[in-house]
Structure 1
Amino acid sequence: MSKIRPLIPLLLTAGILIGGNGLQGTFISLRALDEGFSTSLIGVVGAGYNVGFAIGCVYVTRILRAIGHIRTFSAMAAIASAAAIAMVLVIEPWFWFVMRLVAGICFAGLFATVESWLNASVTNANRARTLSIYRLVDLGSVTAAQYLIPGVGIGGFELFAFISMALTLSLVPISFADRSSPVAPEAIRFDVKAPWNISPLATIGCIVVGLTNAAFRSLGPIYAQGIGLSVTAIATFMSAGIIGGVVLQYPLGHYSDQFDRRLIILVATFGSLVAGLFLAFGAGSDEWLNFAGIFAFGAFAMPLYSLCSAHANDHAAEGQHALVSAGMLFFWSLGAIIGPLFASFMLDLFGPRALFIYTAVILFLFMLYTLQRMTAREAVPTGERSMPFRNLLRTSSFFNKLAAGSHPQHDGGSLRQDARSDRIAEREDQV
């Protein structure tokens, strides 16, 4: 526990950020609907965040190298806080699009700063435990934040203020962290063609995850409101999808390490497709059936990003894993920009159930492409895979580095160095 204690301020900061971001995503969609925005305009506003996120992913390493971690975090938190509170002052779709774009840039920078800092602060002795706590922080903070919406209500300025306060208060724990800011990270090399050359299936898969999962996160509240769910039920609906995403991560990951990953990708895609069709045609307006359907959808759909990333790493050569991580996040961002836009137009034309008809069509086409790739390329034998499955968050490419280091068998040099550092630290403590 003593090795985790210095990381608690960073983990608290991460929890505040992740919770505030999860709250903002759901609340903005519901508030925009309450303000009379059309579904297509809500999709545009949702896409604004993902446009900003993609921009932030490209430039954040340069900013970290130029001004350091604490200055980057402080600037991004202040700007994101101002963008959140500004939305209640000017209630116009174009302004909200710009503010969500700004928020996307800032959150890409904020997550990258925290995760880069964590990655520089952990050793292989406490990395796996830190990673587990970080995932629990992610799940708990996003789930709890959803229930502020029915508790406070969507009609006033209060939730805008709560979001702004959360972003401002996220500066407090990190200010009490170790005063020595870590060394600025190396620039992340990015080549848009390289991920496709390494694995076309993984590249298309990450785009598909962006097209479908980002549409659910942006427009899921609109679907739930459209079928008549209460505000409390909408919070539960969104939380069920998030919690469902945790349930099958490790079972699917385990089996993907034992068999052809493409087979497990196919299973997860099929499960998501069936759950989507159930929500579109079988759940009706029944709350519990919708909760069960979205739980199943999340259980199969959320692990797809990690499965696709693992498949790409199977085919990556030595030294290409960082490039794969950056590439998968970039292509997910592309899908996440397009998905809410296209799905929102479908909802405008055909009603709320069009959201899951749209996702089912995308997933069906991806199943066909996966089958085609299984005939075009041999599977990588399990003994020749350079990395096992890792449960990844789509927060920053630095999370991939944090997760990669939790498998010490793939980083023996670092493990030995960390062990030496731990022994030195223990001797210093004894002195």
Structure 2
Amino acid sequence: MSSIRPLIPLLVAAGILLGGNGLQGTLIALRGAQEGFSPAVIGFMGTSYFAGFLLGCMAISRIMKAVGHVRSFSALAALASAGTLLLILVIDPVMWSVIRFVTGFCFAGLFTVMESWLNSGVQNHDRARVLAIYRIIDIGSVTGAQFMIPVFGAGGFTIFAIMSIMITLSLVPISLGDRSNPKPPEEVKLDLARVWRISPLGSIGCVAVGVTNSAFRTLSPVYAEQIGMSVTDVVTFISVGIIGGALIQYPLGYLSDRWDRRKVLLLTTTLALLSAFSIAFLAGSAPLTNFVLIFIFGSFAMPLYSLSAAHANDRADKDEFVLVNAALMLFYSIGAIVGPFAASAAMEATGPHSLFVFMGCVYAVFVLITIYRMGVRSAVPEGRRGHFIALLRTSTVFARLARRKGDVLAETATVSQRLTNASEAERK
């Protein structure tokens, strides 16, 4: 425990940011609906957020190299905090879309700085423990923060002020808890074509999950509000889906380590499809029925990203873990840009339940692609199959933190071999 103690300030900051980010996503949808914004407008705000997030993922390494961890974090947190207050000062869909773009950029940078810092401070033997703590913080803070909305209400200034305070307070542990300000990480090589060749199925899976998960996180509050749920029921609905995915992810991962991972991916996607259609056609407006079905939906929809990534990593070389997962994060972000706006168009055309019809159709396409890929490519031999790791979609550098001991050793050996070869070439 003593080796993890220096990381506690970073983990505290992570909890504050994860909670604030999750709270803001839900509140934007609820408050936007109350202000009369259409689902298409709210969907476009979600698209704006993920477009900013994608740009932030690609730009933050240069910013960190220029000014360091602390200054990068401080500048981005100040922008995100100011943007949060501006949301309530100027209630306008165009302004909100611009702010959500800036906020997406800021949060991508904040998570990258924080996870880069964690990666530099964690010992290899503590990685699994730190990842487990980080995952608990993620689920606890995101679901817990949602319930501030019914406590303080979505209609006034207070909840926006609280979000701004949360983002600002994340600066305190970062500024006072660690003065090491480590060397910025090397830029992650983003070779999308290479990763696509390694695993077309894993890449397509991350795009599909980006489309559906972003649609769910952006528009599920609108769905719940439009079918007549109270504010408390809305946040419960969202939280139950997130918790379902957290609880079932590891059993599915355990199963995928022992079977052909594509079979588990096919089964999980099929169950996500069926549960999405069940919500669309069977749930109606009864809160309890929706809670039960969204728990089932979340149980199978949320783990799909990690399952797709695990399959892609099975196809990659040991030293390509970081490269592959950085690219998969960008594939996810590309899908996430498309998802909210496309789903909101369906909701505008045919009503709130079409959100889940849209997601079910995306899963149906992915099922067909999975069946096709299973027919044209053999399974990964059991000896090459790695262990499942639950991945967060917070930054492209999360893969560095999630690396397993064997991956670190393999990557180190590869780098050492390259340096040796370069030295020999120079001597010649």
Q: Which aligned segments of 4 or more residues in structure 1 are displaced greater than 4 angstroms?
A: 412-416
Superposition TM-score, scaled by structure 1 size: 0.94
Cα distance in 2 for partners of 1:390, 1:350 equals 38
Cα distance in 1 for partners of 2:273, 2:411 equals 41
Which residue number in structure 2 is paired with residue 109 of structure 1?
Answer: 109
Which residue number in structure 1 is paired with residue 197 of structure 2?
Answer: 197
Cα distance in 1 for partners of 2:13, 2:162 equals 15
Residues 220-275 of structure 1 deviation map (CA, whole Å, 9 limit, x = unaligned):
00111111111000010000011011111111111111111111110110111111
Cα distance in 2 for partners of 1:176, 1:335 equals 38
The offset of 1:321, in angstroms, is: 2.1
Amino acid paired to 1:92:
D
Counterpart contact for 1:244–1:296, Cα < 8 Å? yes
The offset of 1:285, in angstroms, is: 1.3
Matches within 5 A, 1:266-345: 266-345=266-345
Counterpart contact for 2:80–2:167, Cα < 8 Å? yes
Shift in alpha-carbon separation, 1:132–1:415, aligned structure 2, 3 A = farther
Cα distance in 1 for partners of 2:94, 2:178 equals 41
Counterpart contact for 2:245–2:298, Cα < 8 Å? yes
Which residue number in structure 2 is paired with residue 392 of structure 1?
Answer: 391
Cα distance in 1 for partners of 2:43, 2:198 equals 32
The offset of 1:63, in angstroms, is: 1.2
Q: Percent identity?
A: 53
Deviates most, 341-350 or 1-10: 1-10
The offset of 1:187, in angstroms, is: 1.0
Counterpart contact for 2:254–2:388, Cα < 8 Å? yes
Cα distance in 2 for partners of 1:195, 1:43 equals 29
Matches within 5 A, 1:378-389: 378-385=378-385, 387-389=386-388
Question: Which secondary structure state, in structure 2, belongs to the residue aligned with residue 88 of structure 1?
Answer: helix
Q: Does 1:411 align with 2:411?
A: no
Counterpart contact for 1:408–1:415, Cα < 8 Å? no
Which residue number in structure 1 is paired with residue 400 of structure 2?
Answer: 401
Cα distance in 2 for partners of 1:98, 1:120 equals 33
Q: Which runs of 5+ in 1 are unaligned?
A: 417-431
Cα distance in 2 for partners of 1:232, 1:382 equals 46
Amino acid paired to 1:2:
S
Cα distance in 2 for partners of 1:22, 1:403 equals 22
Amino acid paired to 2:198:
I
Counterpart contact for 2:81–2:167, Cα < 8 Å? yes
The offset of 1:415, in angstroms, is: 11
Counterpart contact for 1:53–1:104, Cα < 8 Å? yes
Cα distance in 2 for partners of 1:145, 1:82 equals 19
Amino acid paired to 1:388:
H
Which residue number in structure 1 is paired with residue 421 of structure 2?
Answer: none
Question: Which secondary structure state, in structure 2, belongs to the residue aligned with residue 37 of structure 1?
Answer: coil
Question: Which secondary structure state, in structure 1, belongs to the residue aligned with residue 136 of structure 2?
Answer: helix
Cα distance in 2 for partners of 1:321, 1:212 equals 25
Cα distance in 2 for partners of 1:171, 1:178 equals 11
Q: Does 1:85 align with 2:82?
A: no
Cα distance in 2 for partners of 1:61, 1:155 equals 38
Which residue number in structure 1 is paired with residue 50 of structure 2?
Answer: 50
Counterpart contact for 1:343–1:358, Cα < 8 Å? yes
Amino acid paired to 2:219:
L
The offset of 1:97, in angstroms, is: 0.5
The offset of 1:320, in angstroms, is: 2.4
Cα distance in 1 for partners of 2:149, 2:355 equals 22
Counterpart contact for 1:277–1:357, Cα < 8 Å? yes
Question: Which secondary structure state, in structure 2, belongs to the residue aligned with residue 156 of structure 1?
Answer: coil
Counterpart contact for 2:321–2:407, Cα < 8 Å? no
Question: Which secondary structure state, in structure 1, belongs to the residue aligned with residue 179 of structure 2?
Answer: coil
Residues 66-107 of structure 1 deviation map (CA, whole Å, 9 limit, x = unaligned):
211111100100011111111111111111110000000000
Q: Does 1:153 align with 2:147?
A: no
Q: Does 1:181 align with 2:181?
A: yes
Question: Which secondary structure state, in structure 1, belongs to the residue aligned with residue 88 of structure 2?
Answer: coil
Cα distance in 2 for partners of 1:70, 1:272 equals 41
Residues 267-307 of structure 1 deviation map (CA, whole Å, 9 limit, x = unaligned):
11011111101111111111111111111111101111011
Let me know the Cα RMSD of the aligned residues. Answer: 1.4
Q: Does 1:121 align with 2:118?
A: no
The offset of 1:185, in angstroms, is: 0.2
Cα distance in 2 for partners of 1:54, 1:31 equals 25
Which residue number in structure 1 is paired with residue 168 of structure 2?
Answer: 168
Matches within 5 A, 1:166-245: 166-245=166-245
Superposition TM-score, scaled by structure 2 size: 0.94
Counterpart contact for 1:248–1:299, Cα < 8 Å? yes
Residues 130-166 of structure 1 deviation map (CA, whole Å, 9 limit, x = unaligned):
1111111001000111100111111111111111111
Q: Which runs of 5+ in 2 are unaligned?
A: 414-428
Amino acid paired to 2:240:
A
